[in-house]
Structure 1
């Protein structure tokens, strides 16, 4: 199972083609940038002042996690761990996205790389702690944004954990954090100015 991570954001790109509202376009662009930065292991850039509020809150009930993270330090630690273990490498399929003035919502089949040791420590029955696996599951997400287009947090749910699939990867199909960065760096675009984008729409 060799994933084409360049297609992870294709649902966002399709919605951008039909979205004219400048505020909504900005949120979709921020959502697009955030996801590729995360997958590429460039997590520090997610915390830029124009992308995230000072005190974000993540509610994560998916991908083997059941936790609430409060504040940039706690969230940064999660992203740092994922970059180090390769868990930052993700992919989405069959995604449906909706955008409003202060939120982006998504339904998808999500895929996340998981080292065997991480899965075993979480209580999953796997046959090789030294292998890399994919955790595949249906997910629903809501990402709230403030009035300046900055991420307030993430609310992520796994719809049916009992039906999640744990798929062992052939070593040839493993994508490392460094490889993900090399693949995605050309696709990561800077954000426009939120104030200028919204101001232009009011003229």
Structure 2
């Protein structure tokens, strides 16, 4: 929990998905939400390798990132893996959400939230954001973060489109040492929540039943 806010707990990051699951009956949509939930917690837990199984992600995912006024496009599994690995190894894969709204259709999931990312001071300095201690960790608060995740016809992730529409509105909060969450600690906290993903065919068989 960060600065006394009970929502800033990695175990609560997917709570909007849990709420949507309660009212979702379409088997395809439920499968996609289960995969979405699993992907996000695997990423935060530093277990990014497990995201790239053939039942979850296509062979050549494409990520478009427009965050902090910077644009990046990642092509292919190796590029995306390297991106996740850098975050996990530097404890920057820790995310929290507030006021998240999620919508689902047959081939995409969309999310809008206030998002927080634990970020290393040297990373902020490299991106032109001054901090008082580049060896400390900070919480970057991003209001109105928009994410669009497309899926193929078998519910496999095609990539991510991530957009921060108002970089000037982000704020940076210095973390106390006891508030910093390592990837190892996050992995232990999230392990009970990371459930195996049933097969797409099994999920669709429920629709036919």
Residues 21-41 of structure 1: per-residue CA shift (max 9 Å, x gap): 000000000000000000000
Structure 2 runs not aligned, ≥5 long: none
Aligned to 2:186: 180
Aligned to 1:158: 164
Change (3 A) 1:134 1:159: same
For 2:135 and 2:40, locate their aligned partners in 1 and report how far apart those are by CA, in whole Å.
Answer: 27
TM-score by length of 2: 0.95
Report how far residue 66 of structure 1 moved.
1.9
Change (3 A) 1:63 1:16: farther
What secondary structure is seen at the aligned counterpart in 1 of 2:46? coil
For 2:137 and 2:51, locate their aligned partners in 1 and report how far apart those are by CA, in whole Å.
Answer: 26
What secondary structure is seen at the aligned counterpart in 1 of 2:54? coil
Aligned to 2:201: 195
What secondary structure is seen at the aligned counterpart in 2 of 1:91? strand
Residues 83-105 of structure 1: per-residue CA shift (max 9 Å, x gap): 01111111111000001111100
Q: State which of 23, 46, 50 in structure 1 corresponds to 2:51.
A: 46
For 1:41 and 1:171, locate their aligned partners in 2 and report how far apart those are by CA, in whole Å.
Answer: 20
Aligned to 2:174: 168
Residues 166-194 of structure 1: per-residue CA shift (max 9 Å, x gap): 11101111000000001001110111111
Task: List 4+ stretches of structure 1 deviating above 6 A.
Answer: none
For 1:108 and 1:131, locate their aligned partners in 2 and report how far apart those are by CA, in whole Å.
Answer: 25
Aligned positions, number: 203
Q: State which of 8, 13, 16 in structure 2 corresponds to 1:8.
A: 13
On the 8 A contact 1:63/1:135 being kept in 2, the answer is no
Aligned to 2:123: 118
Report how far residue 202 of structure 1 moved.
2.0
TM-score by length of 1: 0.97
Aligned to 1:72: 77
